[in-house]
């Protein structure tokens, strides 16, 4: 269906489309942007928090430090860690908002074998991957000597270790995130945005394992949270 353009000229006298209606999720704000305390527990969360908090400086914290951040009155925290989400949800002074599923973890190798549900291997808000890739090779391929995972990604590590437990790899080994682009790497766990996930990566195949999502944890009164008609969340911050 054509929405705009389609070879026709739009009259300049037509009024601009009204902005999408928004609904208030959380009232605010009370904290000025330059004094806002923002944190995240992983690199995906940092990018998301930086976008939501309009360029505010975002600190990366461990799970334990995330709890300290909440206890210390931090304003905004983005995390997918189940223990942190549970703790924030128990606090009356914080609101916890689930964000859309946006990240997929996949096993990349020469194998196209289906892998059973491994969602219980990770300590994050996760579900079995919604996207499935076709299985065209039925016979078992050689078990790789090792499955690599980014050293800084605890979810990838847990999944790699589960694959070892399933005898789909002999051992799990950490590696620098940039090293995964090395063409000699033949079996690894990759984390990628769901909307750009593919079933083939070069000559290798991706088997989607789990989807994860972050939660937005906001100190009540620090910032406002609104959602538009598409469900997109944004923060309102005091100037």
> pLDDT by residue (tens digit) across 153-176?
989 999 999 999 998 899 999 988
Residue-wise pLDDT for 111-163, tens only, equals 777 788 899 999 899 999 998 888 765 555 668 889 999 988 989 999 999 99
Under 8 Å CB-to-CB from 96, ≥6 apart: which residues?
A: 85, 88, 89, 215, 216, 217
Q: What is the per-residue pLDDT for 72?
A: 96
Residue-wise pLDDT for 28-86, tens only, equals 777 887 888 999 998 778 888 888 887 678 899 999 999 999 999 999 999 999 999 99
Which residues of the chain are in CATH 3.40.190 domains? 22-101+214-225
pLDDT-based confidence at 12, cuts 50/70/90? very low
Sign of CA dihedral 55, 60, 66, 70: negative
pTM: 0.79
The CATH classification of domain 22-101+214-225, taken from the options 3.40.190, 3.40.50, 2.40.128, 1.10.3470: 3.40.190
Q: What is the per-residue pLDDT for 203?
A: 85
Identify which has the larger pLDDT, 27 or 87: 87
Q: What is the per-residue pLDDT for 172?
A: 95
Strands 172-175 and 147-150: parallel
3-class DSSP assignment, residue 4: coil
Q: What is the per-residue pLDDT for 183?
A: 62
Tallying the residues shown for the chain, one arrives at 239
> Is the confidence at residue 4, as pLDDT, over 60?
no
| Residue pointed to by tokens 């945005």 | 193
Percent of the chain at pLDDT exceeding 70: 82
pLDDT-based confidence at 8, cuts 50/70/90? very low
> Is the confidence at residue 217, as pLDDT, over 50?
yes
């Amino acid at each position: 269906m054509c929405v705009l353009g389609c070879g026709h000229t739009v009259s300049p006298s037509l009024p601009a489309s009204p902005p999408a209606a928004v609904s208030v999720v959380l009232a605010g704000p009370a904290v000025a942007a330059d004094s806002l305390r923002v944190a995240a527990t992983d690199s995906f969360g940092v990018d998301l928090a930086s976008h939501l908090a309009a360029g505010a400086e975002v600190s990366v914290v461990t799970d334990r430090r995330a709890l300290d951040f909440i206890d210390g009155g931090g304003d905004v925290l983005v995390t997918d860690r189940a223990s942190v989400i549970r703790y924030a949800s128990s606090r009356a002074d914080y609101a916890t908002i689930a964000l859309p599923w946006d990240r997929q973890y996949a096993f990349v190798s020469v194998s196209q074998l289906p892998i059973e549900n491994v969602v219980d291997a990770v300590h994050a808000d996760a579900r079995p991957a919604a996207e499935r890739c076709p299985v065209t090779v039925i016979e078992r391929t050689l078990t790789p000597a090792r499955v690599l995972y980014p050293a800084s990604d605890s979810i990838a590590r847990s999944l790699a270790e589960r694959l070892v437990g399933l005898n789909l790899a002999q051992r799990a080994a950490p590696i620098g995130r940039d090293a995964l682009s090395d063409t000699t790497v033949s079996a690894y766990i990759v984390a990628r945005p769901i909307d750009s996930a593919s079933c083939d990566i070069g000559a290798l195949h991706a088997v989607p394992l789990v989807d994860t999502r972050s939660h937005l944890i906001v100190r009540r009164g620090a910032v406002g949270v609104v959602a538009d008609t598409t469900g997109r969340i944004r923060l309102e911050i005091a100037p």
